[in-house]
Amino acid sequence: MPSFDIVSKVEAQALDNAVNVTTKEITNRFDFKGAHVVINLDKKDFKINMETDDDMKMRQLVDVLISRAHKQGIAPEAFDASKEGHQSGKVWKKEVQVKNGLKQDDAKKIVKLIKDAGLKVQTAINDDMVRVTAKKIDDLQAVIQLCRASDLGIPMQYENMRS
């Protein structure tokens, strides 16, 4: 039976490239000349720690990071920048978490979306992915279109398409 997997993962090298390009752009920007800017990537925990002089520069830094990451092929939904930055002395610090892997509740949302659509497919949650199987490939393609059209706030990739 044809099947495919729905996953949500961020490639570590692409994330590293996005952080490096962001650092390079910020050092060349006129409005950041002489400003204290630090961007560190924790590859193990998929966290980006940032420091700037003030809140306005922090927001600009996050915007530049997300736009550069999008050009590297990372979906903007992969960044969880909802946690507010805090002031530590003269410096603003912020931690941006990068979502890597489907959480259990996100996988349940995807399964519920597919079940509510009434398509003739079977879904199964395996660790951090959702496997979708069907008798016809057309049904699988309909599931992919359904997931792309829905706004779940989760970056999704579709892989291991087997027929």
CATH number of domain containing 61: 3.30.70.990
Q: Clarify whether residues 118 and 50 are in a common domain.
A: no
Q: Clarify whether residues 28 and 87 are in a common domain.
A: yes
pTM: 0.83
Tell me the C-alpha distance between 34 and 56, whole Å: 15
Instruction: Residue 117: give its domain's CATH number.
Output: 3.30.70.860
Q: Clarify whether residues 64 and 106 are in a common domain.
A: no
Which residue type does 81 have?
A: A
Q: Clarify whether residues 57 and 108 are in a common domain.
A: no
Secondary structure (DSSP) of the chain = --EEEEE----HHHHHHHHHHHHHHHHH-GGGTT---EEEEETTTTEEEEEESSHHHHHHHHHHHHHHHHHTT--GGGEE--SPPEEETTEEEEEEEEP-S--HHHHHHHHHHHHHHT-SEEEEEETTEEEEEESSHHHHHHHHHHHHHS--S---EEEEEE-
> What is the per-residue pLDDT across 39-98, written as a single tens digit (0 to 9) for each?
999 988 899 999 999 888 999 999 999 999 999 999 998 998 888 888 888 899 999 999
Give the residue among 66, 77, 28, 35 at the shortest CA–CA distance from 53: 35
Give the total number of structural domains in the chain: 2
Domain of 124, in residue numbers: 3-8+102-162
Look at residues 42, 73, 98 and tell me which one is the last residue of a structural domain. Answer: 98
> What is the per-residue pLDDT across 17-44, written as a single tens digit (0 to 9) for each?
999 999 999 999 898 888 889 999 998 8
Q: Clarify whether residues 47 and 83 are in a common domain.
A: yes
Q: Clarify whether residues 92 and 106 are in a common domain.
A: no
